[in-house]
Amino acid sequence: MAKLDLLSFDIKGAFEGDKFDKALSWLPKAEHPSVMRFKFERDRHLALASLLLRRHYFSQELQTPWFDLEFDRLPAGKPVLKHFDSLNYDYNTSHEGDWVIFGCTKDMKIGVDAVAIDRPKKQSIDAYLKSFQPQLTHNEMHLVMDSDSEDIRLETFYQLWGCKESYTKALGLGLSLDLLKLDFSNAQNMIKMKFEGKQLDNWVFYLNRLDETTLAVVCCGYLETSMALDPKMIEFGQSTQLLETNTQTPLFTPRN
């Protein structure tokens, strides 16, 4: 089975008082600016948790001394582990609210996205949703507006948005990919994706709640169209909370 590990970090209270400075000292000094560049305390805490989580994971996974690990970024911004190219690790992180999430695979590509389920404050929910119509396909917009419940309509939009974001992060393309090329729907107890009208069956999507207002989305798969998902990965995809639903048991392993 292809390797897949998922971790989460709830930062509430984690870095209060002198805990922040102590935790910051666990990072190489070269990484401190990546934390301290943020103006607001919460953003510094999220950045710190993100860097600690990946270092914790790889030090355990590779049995490598904590400070021997080095990281870099691809031109589009996706983070990568240095000096272990032959092991084919791919990882991704995201943060939102009080949460940092981390996902890692071997021999596959992965993108993760933490999404806040925010209610619009200055316009109606339907007006807010329709403002995103240029980024949603006709089928996706129909799926969003299909429910009689405003809450379900709003969550369905954020589910779709997280799927699109996680796929672009898996590819390492950032915002350069035209989101209209991606079309998501429920099929065969999974979330399926079409790219430019062609269904790609070698990608799997998983979404779930971290708490009442935060959604986690995981995308992993193969760039090569000839590569097929193994049965365990298909089973993982079938364990997802489907689009237009809002119940499921979190699968992320917490770290604090």
Cα distances (Å, whole numbers) of residue 49 to 18, 58, 85, 112, 139: 15, 14, 25, 16, 37
In a domain, 255, yes or no: no
In a domain, 244, yes or no: no
In a domain, 245, yes or no: no
Helices 150-171 + 138-145 axis angle, to 10: 150
Query: What residue type is assigned to position 110 of the chain?
Result: I
Total tally of structural domains belonging to the chain: 1
Q: Which of 40, 35, 46, 36 is nearest to 10 (CA)?
A: 46
Range(s) of the domain holding residue 196: 3-237
Query: What residue type is assigned to position 214 of the chain?
Result: T
At 62 the three-state DSSP class reads: coil
Query: What residue type is assigned to position 101 of the chain?
Result: I
In a domain, 16, yes or no: yes
d(CA 141, CA 174): 23
- For strands 109-116 and 214-221, give the pairing: antiparallel
Cα distances (Å, whole numbers) of residue 142 to 148, 165, 256: 12, 20, 40
Q: Model pTM greater than 0.75? A: yes
CATH classification of the domain holding 12: 3.90.470.20
In a domain, 243, yes or no: no
In a domain, 125, yes or no: yes
The pLDDT tens digits along the chain (256 residues) read 678 999 999 999 999 999 999 999 999 999 999 999 999 999 999 999 999 999 999 999 999 999 999 999 888 788 899 999 889 999 999 999 999 999 999 999 999 999 999 999 999 999 999 999 999 999 999 999 999 999 999 999 999 999 999 999 999 887 778 999 999 999 989 999 999 999 999 999 999 999 999 999 999 999 998 999 999 999 999 999 999 887 655 566 666 5
